[in-house]
């Protein structure tokens, strides 16, 4: 006889199934659907992400090999690759995007007071993008260049816990700075951006919304210095200036004062110049905030290495977005489990344990407690010494 739940079923119990069905109803996901529901589709894709399946045939083979356990996994009926391919192509990807936002909201509450290296009461976001190369012949909608295809994953990362709060999936030809037009600015929050987002008109919109930004200045930035504040040069701070943009276009787009901070990285022997509209933070804290922007790069590297978002189970835009949003949901779900079960191990370790124990019938905490309680960050040695 069967006693208890499989680890996969216990894992899915952390997800609000009722809210998922509300998302399905919102976009009529079950229109003309008889057997293979959206929930079954999500479970199959989540299984594929957790076990790093390579194709629809791979998913079908693995699940059919364990068909006696599918009911206990929560999957009703036999899994067919053609049915799954059709579901990925026609069922609205916004179902899975809205559902991911619900899990993200839970994770942000759990990690609201997580330390990220700088002690601040405000919410701090890092905004960046990563490119996923695609074959233009198979993905003609994802045109990047004349003969190349790609999609861009624009991500606004909450540095408290490294939780992706908002994700935009666009064709590769969309420039990063255009995402600032889609950004819903949060009053009082701090946005850390690289030089690709340096657009004074868009930054001034952020300034008028009473939000703050930290970015790098370009070498050709022309300005008029109003005055300089005293600095601690022993800490690496070279100058702390209040300036006005001098170039005609920049002065028109950003008519207010800016703070220009210089910092010297002694390890890399590199001089860095930052621009911000925050005049209350210490100059060294501004430099440290920009260093924390590296967390969004680590997030991109983590999901590319440990989840399935570099190759796709379908070629349509809907299938690609559905798969990416499922991968993000799995990432955030692992983060939620880590916090709720009070685990000290890394997300990578949790994911690896789950990938080989999904069909086991034991308490999930017992399975995760078998591993040594060490939190080794395998990516830390690859992080730049101070700044990218």
CB burial of residue 323 (10 Å; 0-12, 13-18, 19+): buried
Tokens of 51: 């076990």
Q: In what order do the strands lie in the sheet with 270-276?
A: 163-171, 149-158, 124-134, 190-192, 212-216, 270-276, 258-265, 237-245, 223-228
C-alpha dihedral (290, 247, 211, 159), degrees to nearest 10: -20
* Lowest mean per-residue pLDDT among 26-35, 174-183, 187-196, 244-253: 26-35
pLDDT at 246: 92
**Is the Cα dihedral 379, 385, 387, 388 positive or negative?**
negative
Confidence of residue 121 (pLDDT cuts 50, 70, 90): confident
Q: Domain residues of the chain, as ranges?
A: 7-96+315-381
Average pLDDT, the chain: 89
With beta carbons less than 8 A apart as the criterion, state whether 302 and 348 touch. Answer: yes
pLDDT category at 370 given cuts 50, 70, 90 is: low
C-alpha span between 198 and 215 (Å, rounded): 7
Q: 236 or 330: which carries more pLDDT confidence?
A: 330
Q: Does 373 have pLDDT greater than 80?
A: no
Integer CA distances (angstroms), 59 to 3, 324, 360, in order: 26, 16, 18
| % pLDDT > 70, the chain | 94
Task: Name the helix (H) or strand (E) containing 263.
Answer: strand 258-265
- Residue 33: pLDDT band with limits 50, 70, 90: confident
Contact 193, 215 (CB under 8 A): yes
3-state secondary structure at position 219: coil
Q: How many CB atoms lie within 10 A of CB 223?
A: 18
Confidence of residue 372 (pLDDT cuts 50, 70, 90): low
Angle, helices 38-51/56-65, rounded to nearest 10 degrees: 100
User: Cα–Cα distance between 196 and 54 in angstroms, integer?
Assistant: 33
Distance of CA 57 to the CA centre of its chain: 28
Cβ atoms of residues 159 and 145 within 8 Å = no
């Amino acid at each position: 006889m069967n006693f208890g739940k499989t680890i996969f079923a216990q894992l899915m119990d952390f997800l609000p199934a009722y809210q998922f069905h509300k998302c399905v109803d919102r976009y009529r996901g079950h229109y003309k659907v008889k057997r293979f529901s959206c929930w079954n589709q999500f479970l199959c894709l989540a299984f594929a992400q957790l076990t790093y399946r390579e194709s629809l045939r791979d998913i079908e083979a693995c699940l059919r090999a364990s068909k006696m356990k599918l009911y206990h996994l929560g999957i009703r009926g036999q899994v067919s690759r053609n049915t799954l391919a059709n579901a990925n192509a026609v069922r609205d990807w916004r179902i899975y995007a809205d559902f991911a936002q619900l899990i993200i909201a839970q994770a942000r509450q759990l990690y609201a007071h997580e330390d990220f290296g700088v002690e601040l009461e405000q919410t701090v976001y890092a905004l960046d993008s990563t490119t996923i190369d695609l074959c233009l012949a198979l993905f003609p909608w994802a045109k990047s260049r004349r003969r190349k295809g790609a999609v861009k994953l624009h991500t606004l990362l909450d540095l408290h816990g490294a939780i992706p709060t908002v994700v935009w999936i666009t064709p590769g030809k969309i420039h990063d700075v255009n995402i600032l037009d889609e950004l819903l600015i949060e009053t009082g929050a701090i946005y850390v951006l690289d030089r690709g987002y340096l657009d004074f008109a868009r930054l001034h919109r952020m300034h008028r919304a009473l939000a703050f930004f930290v970015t790098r200045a370009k070498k050709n930035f022309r300005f008029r210095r109003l005055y300089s504040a005293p600095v601690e040069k022993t800490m690496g701070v070279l100058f702390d200036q209040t300036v006005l943009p001098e170039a005609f276009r920049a002065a028109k787009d950003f008519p207010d004062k800016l703070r220009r901070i210089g910092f010297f990285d002694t390890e890399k022997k590199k001089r860095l110049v930052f621009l911000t509209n925050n005049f209350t933070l210490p100059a060294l804290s501004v430099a440290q905030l920009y260093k924390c922007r590296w967390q969004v790069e680590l997030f991109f590297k983590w999901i590319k290495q440990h989840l399935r978002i570099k190759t796709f189970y379908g070629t349509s835009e809907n299938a690609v977005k559905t798969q990416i949003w499922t991968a993000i949901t799995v990432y955030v779900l692992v983060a939620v489990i880590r916090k709720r079960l009070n685990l000290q191990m890394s997300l990578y370790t949790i994911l690896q344990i789950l990938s080989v124990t999904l069909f086991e019938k034991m308490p999930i905490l017992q399975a995760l407690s078998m591993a040594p309680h060490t939190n080794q960050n395998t990516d830390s040695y690859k992080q730049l010494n101070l700044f990218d």
